[in-house]
Amino acid sequence: MLNLLCLVPFFPLAGFLTLAVTEGKLPKRMAPWIGVGSVAVAALLVAAIGVDFLRHPPADGHFRQTLWVWMEVAGFKADFALYLDALSLNMLFVVTGIGFLIHVYSVAYMRDDPGFSRFFAYMNLFVFAMIILVLADNLTLLYLGWEGVGLCSYLLIGFWYEKPENGDAARKAFVVTRVGDTAMALGLFLLFDQLGTLDIQTAMVQARAHWPIGSGYAVAAALLLLGGAVGKSAQLPLQVWLPDAMAGPTPISALIHAATMVTAGVYLIARTHTLFELAPEVRNLVGLIGVITLLLAGFSALVQTDIKRILAYSTISQIGYMFLGLGAGAWSAAIFHLMTHAFFKALLFLAAGALILSLHHEQDIFKMGGSWKRLPVAFWTFLIGAAALIALPPTSGYYSKHEILLAAYSANPWLWAAGVFGALLTALYGSRLILVVFFGPNNTKARENLPLAITLPLIVLAVLSLFGGLLEMPLSSVLAARETHATGTAIIWMTALAPGIGIILALLCYGPLAKPLQILARNPVGLLLQSFWLQGWGFDDLYFRLFIQPYGFLARMNKADVIDRWFRSIVIVAQFSHRMLASTQTGRLRWYAAVMVFGVVLTIAMGMLG
Amino acid sequence: MILFWLIAVPLLGGILAWPAQHWRSHAPRWIALTALAIDAGLMVLLLCGASADDSWLQQLNWEWIPRFGIDFHLGLDGLSFLLIGLTVLLGFMAVGCSWLEISEQKGLFHCNLLWTLAGVIGVFLALDLFLFFFFWEAMLIPMYFLISLWGHENRDYAAMKFFIFTQVGGLLMLIAILALVFLHYRSSGEFTFDYFRLLDNRLEPAAERWILLGFFIAFAIKLPALPFHTWLPDAHTQAPTGGSVLLAGVLLKTGAYGLLRFAIPLFPEAAHDFAPIAMSLGAVSILYAAILAFAQTDLKRLVAYTSISHMGFVLVGLFAFNAQALQGVVMTLLAHGISAAALFMIAGSLQERLHTREMKTMGGFWKTAPRIGSVTLFFSVAALGMPGLGNFIGEFLVLLGSFRSSIIITAVSAAGLIVAPIYALHVVQRVFHGPPPGKGVPCDFGWREMALMIVMMAASLGIGLYPQPLLNACDLPLKKLIAQGERHEH
């Protein structure tokens, strides 16, 4: 059964190729069968392989399948080889399972789009690249998947290419993540230079053998890989691309920018956690980045008005929790939260998509008000998603976030405190979302008329969001369990109750206290703070001034190439001297005679003086 | 003998193609294609006769001017094999993409095209320095005519600039060759231009440094590297599409080949001393040209600057002196040959349809020309170093290798990976995305253009996904070159 592993990436790839080669000329009813079918087969295969793997785990806890030698040069070797262990299996479940649901959803959501077939082609390519990313047995192949998902993200953010803003957002996403990717590539070079291999398992064994804890190489390598992770996972300081990435169709936001690709950084760190264990400073930095990001993004989510941007900031913030878990050394808790987050955030995005569809592409939450009775499916599924996001017991989000926060407490109480405050913020913006979108003043007369292809994935994801907390994979064979300290009951209660406080606050702020709060917020400081948060703490502006403007300036100034100007000046000098000399050829005898006499006199004079 | 025919067939084909247009309008094209097909056949023949233990698949050594020790000495190893393979492939492309564009003087055009190819193949085969110089100059003249006769609006200026730059380089190389030969004569009493005999020669460090500089400048102009690159944007922009394909695809590669085959092995110590400068030039080229590429609004000019940027990786890799970097260099040469040639073909086909290369007048073409759009997307993505496509293999191996000799230069060069998408995706955005234009592209790629592009895409994918046969082919030659450098060190 495990030998069928290579077919898992094959089917989505074949789907992509079929859709690409037929250039959208397939009958409209065929395209979704290929696009969805390929991912469905992959998901079924993963289910079968997964059951087999969990029932009869291989002796050493992993299964490797080498397809072909990619490149082998003087000691450097990279294979096209797949590697399956509990961690990659967990990721595979998420990628193909949620991927499949979102593909089904897209059939209805994108039904009337002229680029229907192109959409599924890109989606299939994405699923293929993501599968390669999680199954790669060496870092070079992982990098292929890593860049591949980045490319698909670019293609799908800019899917509606006629609007230049979408293209800008797409390129922004690609270039910003490329900054991280380049750091990661340098990390790969460093690992190869020092350890002589990029095979992940061998490299980790080598690292542990050769590098003492805190060794400079380990720190550098971990830092560089972290660079890649913060780029892909939209963490500080490279988080700026994700809110703009919402320009893509909503299923894309659900699949790529919530459930799978953006969590690749978390996977990378978990996959190479040995390095981070060898570099405790960097591990702490991961936690710190997570905490700061989750707070900043939480505040930003609080003031956004576009439903998708709220969810985008919420994604950044939730990935911050995963980073916090990683930083606390709770590797499996982070992966657990990755999975539950994939459930409830995909659900939230898809439910938001259903809303947006029912409301004729309205994305401003203040124009949606009061729709809870008329849009029951969207409302209830959104509510479940939000409950999981807020981490209310007994939803899936509760279990995973709770685990992370308790781990953070044993690592550093300050991190815990910030995380709990973040949980309060999450509850605040989550409840605000529900209150404003579904309750507020009645603004629309929309009717819900959702096809089965939309409601079914919503219901499945809602079930997963509710009960997904019971699906924690046994990851102990890959990720060493953290030694648990007994935590005081007070801490446990505070962790669990923080969201409740947030909800009560939200009820107050958008209920009885709404008026006084509005007056309170209308002072200059409050307004400034709001617009500051609205723009994501001014990072876009900062980077615009720091990088984009100078780069554009440099390019514009030097369009004609200064170096060429130097070569052109040689031409000008040559032409000038030619003209000077030519002008002496006047053809007048008197002039020639005078010059000759002058020359003779000059020569004699020089002879006499010399 | 096969090696001789490899050069002679395109040469004769050119002579035949010139008058052929008087018999039949399309005859020169078919003659050119036949000549290329014969060359391709010869390559297959060579491959079949290859033995695994010797790095030289075949050599040929005829006396030419014995008084000065000049021989007609050709040799083919895995490295030359790959580059000649690329030359023949792009020869087909150059003929294919000129099918509609060239309507005047077809005979002379194809004659010049084939002669350029013959010259380039000669450069890749020559193992006698005088012969090498001969081919080096010989490939230049037909190229000059291609630009100055069939070029665009500013062709005279561009052709002249190209000619003068390369001539200056050629002159420096000639002086360097003569100096090398005379110094060898003084120490051994033997006049020879033979590569192998000069390889064992040892020079005084000062002399070695000066002679290396002569070679280096000549090859750096051709490559081109900063600050000798300014002929290239003009030449590429003004050349007809077929000319640009050959320029970007193979002519630039002769510069890298010269460094790899001659400059570095002949003067290993000086090359080692010179490495920091050369690598820095390479790294600066990568970034400088990438920024310039982003600034351009002329599509062909933009692609031309990206070529300079990619050749920067070649320079960095060449002077890193290890197997990974050198293999990366060869892969970059092949992959860039394909991706840049394809981008020039696209630019040419757009110009054919729109009669402009100005990107400001383009936009939203995806709607009317999705095939051109997706092919452009493919090669833009290849150019920005997407794993799975050819260019990535080259750049990754170059950086992997150069990391071992200089971390700082590798880090600066790696920044090229950040700026590459800025220009590459800019092209896609500017030309194909955005609001649909008032007037789109009149027609999408037809079967002829699509067939050419499919071959190119397959080649890029092939290098990107299964480069091992290519890596194996030049493994032995590159090992020898490295060993040559190390022998001098001890």
As a whole number, mean pLDDT of residues B377-386 equals 93
Residue A205 domain flag: no
**Residue B436 domain flag:** yes
What is the per-residue pLDDT for A470?
82
- Pick from B323, B426, B429: which is nearest to A73 by CB? B323
Are B370 and A23 within 8 A, CB to CB? yes
Q: What's the gap in Å between the CA of A162 and the closest CA on chain B? A: 4
Q: At a CB cut-off of 8 Å and minimum separation 6, what does A537 contact?
A: A296, A299, A300
Q: Which of A514, A576, A193 is nearest to A366 (CA)?
A: A514
Quick one: pLDDT at residue A9?
92
- Does any domain span residue B272? no
Is residue A484 over pLDDT 70? no
Cβ of B414 within 8 Å of Cβ of A167? The answer is no
Is it the case that residue B70 has pLDDT exceeding 60?
yes
Q: How far is CA A561 from the centre of its chain?
A: 37
Identify the sign of the CA torsion A314, A307, A171, B369: positive
Q: Where a domain ends, among A202, A232, A267? A: A267
Q: Tell me which residue has tokens 């290098």.
A: B463
In a domain, B205, yes or no: no
* A306: contact with B, CB 8 A cutoff: no
Burial of B458 (0-12, 13-18, 19+ CB in 10 A): exposed
Q: Which two tokens stand for residue A130?
A: 């993501």
Q: Which structural domain range is residue B415 located in? A: 286-490
A573 within domain boundaries: yes
Which of chain B's residues have a Cβ under 8 Å away from the Cβ of A181? Answer: 417
What is the pLDDT of chain B when averaged over all its residues? 89
Interface of A with B in 7-66 (CB under 8 A): 20, 23-24
Provide the chain A residues 142-171 that lie in CB contact (below 8 A) with chain B. Answer: 143-144, 147-148, 151, 154, 158, 161-164, 167-168, 170-171
pLDDT of B73-88, one tens digit each? 898 888 999 999 999 9
Chain A nearest-CA residue for B331: A71
Chain B residue closest to A557 (CA)? Answer: B295
Whole-number Å distance between alpha carbons of A109 and A112: 8
Query: Measuring CA to CA, how many Å separate B230 from each of A153, B164, B223, B299, B303?
Result: 36, 12, 11, 17, 14
Select the residue from B164, B330, B375, B400 to test the A interface by mutation, using most A Cβ atoms within 10 A: B400
Q: Would you say A228 and A179 are in contact if contact means Cβ atoms under 8 Å apart?
A: no
CA-based nearest distance B181→chain A, Å:
32
Using the structure block, give the residue that is written with the tokens 């001659």: B262
* pLDDT exceeds cutoff 60 at B488: no
Q: Evaluate whether B294 touches B423 at the Cβ level (below 8 Å).
A: yes
Which range, of A433-437, B49-53, B450-454, averages the lowest pLDDT? B49-53
Query: Rounded distance, CA A363 to CA A308, Å?
Result: 7
Structural domain includes residue B391: yes
On whether the CB atoms of residues A48 and A4 are closer than 8 A, the answer is: yes
Q: What is the pTM of this model?
A: 0.92
Number of residues that make up chain B? 490
Any chain A CB within 8 A of the CB of B366?
yes
Measured CA to CA, the distance from residue B321 to residue B327 in angstroms comes to 10
**Residue B449 belongs to a domain:** yes
Report yes or no on B478 lying in a domain.
Answer: yes
The better pLDDT of the pair A410, A481 is held by A410
Residue A279 is encoded by which pair of tokens? 């570099």
Q: What is the DSSP string of A515-560?
A: HHHHHHHTSHHHHHHHHHHHTTTTHHHHHIIIIIHHHHHHHHHTTT
pLDDT for A162-197, tens place per residue? 888 999 999 999 999 999 999 999 999 999 999 989
Q: Are residues A184 and A66 in the same domain?
A: yes
Q: What's the rounded mean pLDDT across residues B233-249?
A: 91
Please check whether residues A314 and A347 belong to one and the same domain: yes
Interchain CB distance below 8 Å, B399 and A185: yes
A199 φ, ψ (degrees, to nearest 5)? -65, 125
* B322 in any annotated domain: yes
Do A324 and A185 reside in the same domain of the chain? no
Which of B233, B367, B467 lies nearest to residue A71, judging by beta carbons? Answer: B467
Whether B190 is in a domain gets the answer no
Domain of A579?
A: 560-609
Q: Which of A73, A147, A564 sits opposite B387 (nearest CB)?
A: A147
pLDDT of residue A444: 67
Contact between chains at B295 and A189 (C-beta distance less than 8 A): no
Tell me the CA distances in angstroms from B440 to A405, B351, B431, one per residue in order. 57, 13, 10
Partner residues linked to A63 by β-bridges: A84
Cα separations (Å) of A232 from A37, A147, A149, A398? 28, 10, 10, 25
B450 touches chain A (CB under 8 A): no
Q: Are B199 and B265 in contact (CB under 8 A)?
A: yes
In a domain, A200, yes or no: no
* φ/ψ (deg, to 5) at A104: -60, -45
**Element holding A112 (H helix, E strand):** none
> What is the residue type of A426?
T
Amino acid identity of residue B460, one-letter, is S
For residue B22, count CB atoms less than 10 angstroms from its CB and return exposed for 0-12, middle for 13-18, buried for 19 or more: exposed
In a domain, A179, yes or no: yes
Distances A170 to A149, A155, A157, B372 between C-alpha atoms, Å: 13, 7, 5, 20
Yes or no: say if B184 and B198 are a contact pair by the CB < 8 Å rule: yes
The alpha carbon of residue B374 is apart from the nearest alpha carbon of chain A, in Å, by: 9
Among A398, A280, A295, which residue's Cα sits nearest to residue A328?
Answer: A280
Which of B221, B371, B403, B478 is best to mutate for the A interface (most A CBs within 10 A)? B403
Partners of residue B58 on adjacent β-strands: B76
For helices A139-157 and A116-135, give the axis angle rounded to 10 degrees: 160
**Cα–Cα distance, A120 to A105 (Å, whole number):** 12
| pLDDT at residue number A485 | 62
Residue of A nearest to B290 (CA): A555
Q: What's the pLDDT score for residue A153? A: 93
Q: What is the pLDDT of residues A244-271, one digit of tens each?
A: 999 889 999 999 988 899 999 999 999 9
Residue B50 backbone class (left: φ over 0; alpha: ψ -120 to 50; beta: rest): beta
**pLDDT of A56 over the 60 cut:** yes
Nearest chain B residue to A553 by CA distance is: B295
Give the integer Cα–Cα distance in Å for A63 and A87: 12
Model confidence pLDDT, tens digit, residues A200-215:
999 999 999 999 988 8
Condensed to tens digits (0 to 9), the pLDDT of residues B419-457 reads 999 999 999 998 888 887 767 777 888 888 899 999 999
Q: Give the pLDDT score at B438.
A: 67
CB B241: neighbour CB atoms within 10 A? 26
The pLDDT confidence band at residue A61, using thresholds 50, 70 and 90, is: confident
> Quick one: A377 and A511 in the same domain?
yes
Ranges of H-type helices in B189-267: 195-199, 205-222, 231-238, 241-246, 252-258, 264-266
Residues A254 and A320 in one domain: no
Residue A540 lies in a domain: no
For residue A536, being part of any structural domain is answered with no
Among residues B144, B123, B121, the alpha carbon closest in space to that of B11 is found at B121
- How many CB atoms are located within 10 Å of the residue A552 CB? 14
Tokens representing B470?
A: 């290519």
pLDDT of A483 over the 70 cut: no
Residue B304 touches partner A, C-beta closer than 8 Å: no
For residue A510, give Cα distances in angstroms to A93, A503, A528.
39, 11, 21
**Do A172 and A137 share a domain, yes or no?**
yes
Q: CB of B488 within 8 A of CB of B200?
A: no
User: Smallest Cα–Cα separation from A295: which of A418, A436, A160, A142?
Assistant: A418
Q: Which residues contact A200 (CB under 8 A, 6 or more apart)?
A: A83, A136, A137, A138, A139, A142, A271, A272
Burial group, residue A491, by CB count within 10 angstroms (0-12, 13-18, 19+): middle
Q: Spell out the alpha helix ranges (H) of B264-389.
A: 264-266, 268-295, 299-318, 323-354, 370-383
Counted across chains A and B, CB pairs separated by less than 8 A come out at 133
pLDDT of residue B2: 85
Q: Do A148 and B386 touch (CB under 8 A)?
A: yes
How far, in whole angstroms, is CA A482 from its chain's centroid?
27
Three-class SS of residue A160?
A: coil
Cα angle for residues B434, B437, B441 (degrees, 5° grid): 105
Q: Is residue A529 part of a domain?
A: no
Pair (A253, A317) in one structural domain: no
CB A189 to CB B400 under 8 A?
Answer: yes
Among candidates B323, B393, B399 on the partner chain, residue whose Cβ is nearest the Cβ of A74: B323
∠ CA A393-A397-A401, nearest 5°, is: 100
Q: How high is the pLDDT of residue A434?
A: 87
Provide the sign of the torsion angle of the four alpha carbons A213, A214, A216, A222, taken in this order. positive
How open is the CA angle B395-A218-A275, to the nearest 5 degrees? 95
Number of domains in chain B: 1
Put simply, the answer to whether A71 touches B324 (Cβ < 8 Å) is: no
Given a cut of 80, whether residue B219 has pLDDT beyond it is yes
- The answer, for A185 touching chain B at a CB cutoff of 8 Å, is yes
Identity of the residue in B227, B292, B433 whose CB atom sits nearest the CB atom of A558: B292
Read off the amino acid at residue B420: A
User: Is residue A572 less than 8 Å (CB to CB) from chain B?
Assistant: no
Cβ of residue B166 closer than 8 Å to a chain A Cβ = no
For residues A189 and A76, what is the distance between their CA atoms, to the nearest angstrom? 11
> If DSSP codes are grouped into helix, strand and coil, which group holds residue A261?
helix
User: pLDDT tens digits, residue range B166-184?
Assistant: 999 999 999 999 999 988 8
- Asked if B404 lies within 8 A of A185 by C-beta distance, the reply is no
Both tokens of A193, joined, read: 């230079």
In this structure, the number of other CB atoms found within 10 A of the CB of residue B8 comes to 14
Chain A residue closest in CA terms to B404: A193
Cβ–Cβ gap B387/A559 under 8 Å: no
Longest dimension (CA), chain A: 115
d(CA A387, CA A501): 14
Q: Any CB–CB contact under 8 A between B426 and chain A?
A: yes
Reply yes or no on whether the pLDDT at B490 is more than 60. no
Q: Give pLDDT tens digits for B93-108.
A: 999 888 887 777 888 8
The pLDDT of residue B51 is: 67
What backbone torsions phi and psi does residue A83 show, to the nearest 5 degrees? -135, 120
Distance from C-alpha of A270 to C-alpha of A286, rounded to nearest angstrom: 12
- Asked if A186 reaches chain B (Cβ–Cβ under 8 Å), the answer is yes
Q: Rounded to whole angstroms, what are the CA distances from B362 to B291, B297, B299?
A: 21, 10, 10
- pLDDT tens digits, one per residue of A391-402: 888 888 888 888
Question: Between chains, do B414 and A185 touch, taking CB under 8 Å as contact?
Answer: yes
The residue to which tokens 């001017």 are assigned = B65
What was the pLDDT predicted at B442? 78
Residue in A186, A554, A556 nearest the CB of B414: A186
Same-domain pairing of A218 and A288:
no
In a shared domain, residues A114 and A135: yes
Residues 6+ apart with CB under 8 A from B24: none
Do residues A256 and A288 both lie within one domain? no
Among chain B residues, CA nearest to A164:
B434
Q: For residue B296, give both structure tokens.
A: 């351009």
- Total tally of structural domains belonging to chain A: 3
- Separation between Cα atoms, residue B264 and residue B253, nearest integer Å: 16
Indicate the average pLDDT of chain A: 88
Q: Is the pLDDT of residue A126 over 60?
A: yes
Q: Are residues A127 and A258 in the same domain?
A: yes
pLDDT band at B25 (very low <50, low <70, confident <90, very high): confident
Which residues of chain A are within 8 Å of residue B78 when distances are taken between CB atoms?
A: none
- For chain A, give the number of residues: 610
Is A161's CB within 8 Å of B230's CB? no
Confidence of residue A15 (pLDDT cuts 50, 70, 90): very high
Mark whether A388 and A430 lie in a shared domain. Answer: yes
pLDDT for the residue numbered A60: 84
This model of the complex carries an ipTM of 0.92
Q: State the helix-helix crossing angle for A216-232 and A139-157, rounded to 10 degrees.
A: 20
Q: Please report residues of A whose CB lies closer than 8 A to that of B403.
A: 186, 189-190, 192-193
Contact map slice: A 537-566 vs B, CB within 8 A: 551, 554-556, 558-559, 561, 563-564, 566
Residue A59 confidence (pLDDT): 83
Q: Which of A70, A189, A555 sits opposite B294 (nearest CB)?
A: A555
Looking at residue B45, its pLDDT comes to: 86
A144 neighbourhood in chain B, CB within 8 Å: 387-388
Task: Tell me what pLDDT residue A294 has.
Answer: 92
Give mean pLDDT, residues A139-164: 93
**Chain A interface, mutation test: which of B291, B377, B419, B454, most A Cβ atoms within 10 Å?**
B291
